[in-house]
Structure 1
Amino acid sequence: MTSQRLARRSLQTRLGLAYAAGIYAAGVFVLVLVAVPLASINAAIPKDRPTSSTITETGPGISLPQLLTGSAVALVILIPVALALGWYVAGRFLHPLRAITATAQIISAGNLHQRLDLGEPTDELTELGHTLDGLFARLQASFDAQRHFVANASHELRTPLAGLRTLLEVTLADPDADTDTLRSACQEALALGGHQERLVHALLALATSERGVTRWDTFDLAHVVEGVLASRRDQATETGIDLAGHLTPSVTAGDPRLIESLVANLIDNAIRHNHPDGHVKVTTEASGTQATLTVTNTGPVIPDNQIQRLFQPFQKLAPERQGRRDGYGLGLAIVHAVTQAHHATLTAAARPEGGLSITVRFAYGSEPSLTSGNDHAGTRDRGRSASSG
């Protein structure tokens, strides 16, 4: 705290000296501007005769030594006056900065709701205050989202662990358990372990994606989608889903692994939440500097006001979806994370006949956003090269 006060005073001292130097320089300039003409006039008058026979004596004039002495005294007096004015002006200019510093010291991870609220007048310092207020708001939203995510993740992990514990306790408590019973219990335990492993893998994918893009390569989006489609055709055939692709070359830049994760999760989500004999259509196209990916699928009707929830972790809209073990409610959260990491635009719209149409537009320099039909829906950053459901 002491060093911060010294630093603050040092800044005020430097600004005060700078302002004082300016005031002093202005005073010297004014004195020179006034004294030099007077001195030249005095020097032009002969000492032994008057300037004009018509001029009568009105009093003693100002001699050159008196003029110089008065100017020197004025310059000496101007020094403390300039310092005082410089210190006062510097303090006035630094007052908003001190308010910003004091509030920023109060704000912490548990007190992110406080804001600077500098108000008027609008200048560079108040603009800085508004920028910091926006930063604090985003930090608060990030901390709240993190706490919410940790709570959900803990709940999702506790459920299979509790099931595994119950299975083992029941099996061990059965005195008549034979080899077949133990084998069956082991198989169920392995299934629960596999479920936990996939869930942890999904959580790691989500956490890894929050770090953002660490590499930017130029690649063809259609080529990435084609590879994912080839790996998902057997899954689509087994579930009776018609998986179709209409791909045109679409060159963009980013992390190919994260983009592959985005595509895989979009397609897996479209296949998983679909009707028997439904269809999934995947298209890529290029428009100017944008590369566009669109995934459209049939499925249950989704209310427009519920689309935002789809992009939050562990959110499952339909009750029948909650009982399924092949999804964790993380797939579209990872999709949005990868979109945000690449500063792309994600648009999701519910189809009137059921299902979703999700479009991702990759463009250089675009600001991340998410729209749900005609409404904006806020989400957060994530992504990784993995399908998480």
Structure 2
Amino acid sequence: MPSPAPSPPPPRPSPRQRGLPVFSGLVERWARRMTPRRVRVRLAALFGALFVASGAVLLGITYLLVGHSVRTLGFVHKPASGPQPRLNVQSGPGSPTPPGFDAMTQQLQEQAARLHAAQMHNLLVQSGVAMAIMAVISVALSWVLAGRVLRPMRAVTAGIRRISANNVHERLAVQGPADEIKDLADSVDGLLGRLETALESHKRFVTNAAHELRTPLTVERALLEESLLDSDATAESFRENFQRLLKISTQQAALLESLLTLAVSERGVERSEPLDLTEIVRSVLLTPLPDARRNEVRIENGTPTTTAAPVSGDTVLLERLVANLVQNAAYYNVEGGHVDVAVAVRSEAGPGRAVLRVSNTGPEVPPDRVDQLFEPFQRLRRTAGDGHHGLGLSIVRAIAGAHDATLTARARPGGGLIVEISFPLRVKPGNRTGGWSPTRPAAPASK
């Protein structure tokens, strides 16, 4: 079988084509080098150029109008028979000339043309001189005006340069009319406020994390020193110390895993896929919870089996969100209490929302501390060595924010907490009305 003929090589560019990119690059570099770097210089040059251009156009229009003006000649005609002389007006070279006035008309027309040309020359010269003087004045005025316009910008720039991490609480607080510069300064102040909040949260997070990690490290060191310094130590005492060290190491691993999950959640969702929030809740509730068995807490799923809540997101993160909510509600509970978990689809106004609601019985929660519970390392009550580091609800908030969900929490009358997370409802492709009909009912939920 004959082999296919090789394809011809691509045509090589001509020297002229190869020279075009080089020429365009030289032009761009030259234009960049010739462009003034200061905005004030550019504004003054722009205003001056606009004035010169508009003055040149005005001068040209005036010159054309004056140049095309009609030249009028008058003649006094005295007829041979008649009592009164008569005035004849010639509006141009095409007008009829009275008899006997041809030579005089020619002389007057030439004189009028020379006078008109001299007047036009004087007009052009004097107008050009006046325009040059006004161009210089306009550039100077443009320089002053540009400086006054850019003065607030210089104040804003100086204020931004002055603010650093040590004085991020300061604000520009620009006073004046509500123009673009004040809007920019207010936007910078808002950005500084958000940056201050983030820095304060970061400092608290680092401080609390260092404190949480320092305590088990201190206990580990004490146990190791006790094992080394105790000359009467037995195999049983070594075993007890090793068991305690193993428990502390497990708690540290859980803390590090929680910190990693929190960091990943705050970074956002990297992979989003269609999910059913009801199925996620059902799979989480199938897993036994040690805290529920310890406190004999009853976990109830109030979601009907036919309710489907289609959302989009990361399966692992959403399962962690539901698990943290249920574990937190089971741990901070009273003996013999209950945890209610429900999923509903709401579409009262606007696009539909899938709402996850978790409520529990438990101790009284002060209303002013509800928002504080969602900060890292914040707990309603602290118990040493309980394995809870106060990161569960902060991870819940981070995962909800990564999925564009709205989280609301309030104290439950009689004790406990009610947490609601509203997710955007996934719209079926091709359906723009926001509705969605499930293709299959959700699996039965476990009690």
- Corresponding position: 1:251 with 2:294: no
CA distance in 1, matches of 2:194, 2:201: 10
> How do 1:153-192 and structure 2 match up within 5 A?
153-192=209-248
The answer (yes or no) to whether the contact 2:173–2:186 under 8 Å persists in 1 is yes
The answer (yes or no) to whether the contact 2:295–2:333 under 8 Å persists in 1 is no
TM-score by length of 2: 0.72
The one of 343, 348, 352 aligned to 2:413? 352
Matched AA of 2:363: P
Q: Given the superposition, is the C-alpha separation of residues 278 and 359 from structure 1 closer, same or farther in structure 2, using an over 3 Å criterion? A: same
Match of 2:373 in 1: 310
The one of 271, 279, 285 aligned to 2:338? 279
The answer (yes or no) to whether the contact 1:274–1:299 under 8 Å persists in 2 is yes
Q: Given the superposition, is the C-alpha separation of residues 177 and 112 from structure 1 closer, same or farther in structure 2, using an over 3 Å criterion? A: same
Match of 1:379 in 2: none
SS in structure 2 opposite 1:110?
A: helix
Match of 1:38 in 2: 66
CA distance in 2, matches of 1:260, 1:334: 12
The one of 292, 296, 299 aligned to 1:240? 296
Q: Given the superposition, is the C-alpha separation of residues 364 and 110 from structure 1 closer, same or farther in structure 2, using an over 3 Å criterion? A: farther
Match of 2:47 in 1: 19
Matched AA of 1:278: G
Deviation at 1:51, TM superposition (A): 11
Deviations 1:220-262 (A, max 9, x none): 1111111111124575345411111133211122223222221
Deviation at 1:72, TM superposition (A): 1.7
> How do 1:95-106 and structure 2 match up within 5 A?
95-106=151-162
Unaligned 5+ runs, structure 1: 1-5, 54-59, 366-389
CA-atom RMSD, angstroms?
Answer: 2.8
The one of 235, 252, 263 aligned to 1:196? 252
The answer (yes or no) to whether the contact 1:19–1:90 under 8 Å persists in 2 is no
The answer (yes or no) to whether the contact 1:27–1:78 under 8 Å persists in 2 is no
- Corresponding position: 1:127 with 2:188: no
Q: Given the superposition, is the C-alpha separation of residues 51 and 183 from structure 1 closer, same or farther in structure 2, using an over 3 Å criterion? A: farther
Q: Given the superposition, is the C-alpha separation of residues 193 and 233 from structure 1 closer, same or farther in structure 2, using an over 3 Å criterion? A: closer
Deviations 1:304-359 (A, max 9, x none): 112122111111223xx433513111111111111222232111111111111100
CA distance in 2, matches of 1:364, 1:89: 54
Q: Given the superposition, is the C-alpha separation of residues 212 and 74 from structure 1 closer, same or farther in structure 2, using an over 3 Å criterion? A: same
SS in structure 2 opposite 1:121?
A: coil
Deviations 1:234-291 (A, max 9, x none): 7534541111113321112222322222111101100111112111111111123211
Deviations 1:176-213 (A, max 9, x none): 11111111111111111111111122222222222122
Matched AA of 1:286: V
CA distance in 2, matches of 1:66, 1:219: 85
Could you tell which deviates more after superposition, 161-170 or 321-330?
321-330
Match of 2:171 in 1: 115
Q: Given the superposition, is the C-alpha separation of residues 48 and 27 from structure 1 closer, same or farther in structure 2, using an over 3 Å criterion? A: farther
Unaligned 5+ runs, structure 2: 1-33, 77-86, 91-114, 427-447
Match of 1:264 in 2: 323
CA distance in 2, matches of 1:253, 1:8: 51
Match of 1:293 in 2: 356
CA distance in 2, matches of 1:267, 1:100: 49
Aligned length: 351
CA distance in 2, matches of 1:40, 1:361: 78
The one of 116, 137, 150 aligned to 1:94? 150
Match of 1:342 in 2: 403
CA distance in 1, matches of 2:315, 2:151: 49
Moved over 6 A (4+): 47-53
Q: Given the superposition, is the C-alpha separation of residues 162 and 7 from structure 1 closer, same or farther in structure 2, using an over 3 Å criterion? A: farther
TM-score by length of 1: 0.82
Match of 1:81 in 2: 137
CA distance in 1, matches of 2:42, 2:235: 85
CA distance in 2, matches of 1:182, 1:254: 48
Matched AA of 2:376: P
CA distance in 2, matches of 1:170, 1:324: 19
CA distance in 1, matches of 2:45, 2:188: 29
CA distance in 1, matches of 2:339, 2:35: 63
